[in-house]
Amino acid sequence: MKRNYCITAITLWVVTLSVGGWFFVKGVTKTGSDGRTEIVLATAERDQILAEMRLLLKAVDGLIRGLGEPDPDPKHMEATARAVGMGMAADVEPTIMAKLPLPFKQMGMSIHKDMDALADAIGRHETPQQILQRLSSMTARCTTCHDMYRFGANK
């Protein structure tokens, strides 16, 4: 009898891990009307992710504007990049992360890591050209992600 309970417990454990792993990779998605993968979130969750994207875009805009100044302020630019680095990503709720497909999570985390690396590069006084090349690499991933995904909301 104990053996049956043990086998049942192990089977349930394996099934739970398998289902959890599948959702971690796939997220909660469906095919959108425009052919992109639609990530289905609650309205508040969608708003939170879109707000984070707007903050990233504002940071990129601020960095480009800073580079265009005759006398850029490296401390301000470094702080701008750092503000949207991994510290920002740490605030995302686990329930939202579970709904995002793995490639989306990977692209998003790479942007946050690269913002921290950009802040470090600014602190090391890389040239404006080097900083723009880093930003170009990041925005290429942004456009790739926007080409692949869209957000839908549960009503």
Q: What is the pLDDT of residue 91?
A: 73
Instruction: Report the distance separating Cα 143 and Cα 76, nearest Å.
Output: 26
2-154 CATH pick, 1.20.120, 1.10.10, 3.40.50, 1.10.3470: 1.20.120
- Beta-bridged to residue 29, according to DSSP, are 39
pLDDT digits (tens, 9 = 90+) for 103-141: 999 999 999 999 999 999 999 999 999 999 999 999 999
72-102 pLDDT, tens digit per residue, is 999 999 999 999 999 998 877 888 889 999 9
The model's pTM: 0.81
Compute the distance between CA of residue 14 and CA of residue 18 in angstroms, rounded to an integer. 6
Q: What DSSP letter does each residue of 62-87 carry, written as one string? A: HHHHHHHSSS--HHHHHHHHHHTSHH
The whole-number pLDDT of residue 66 equals 96
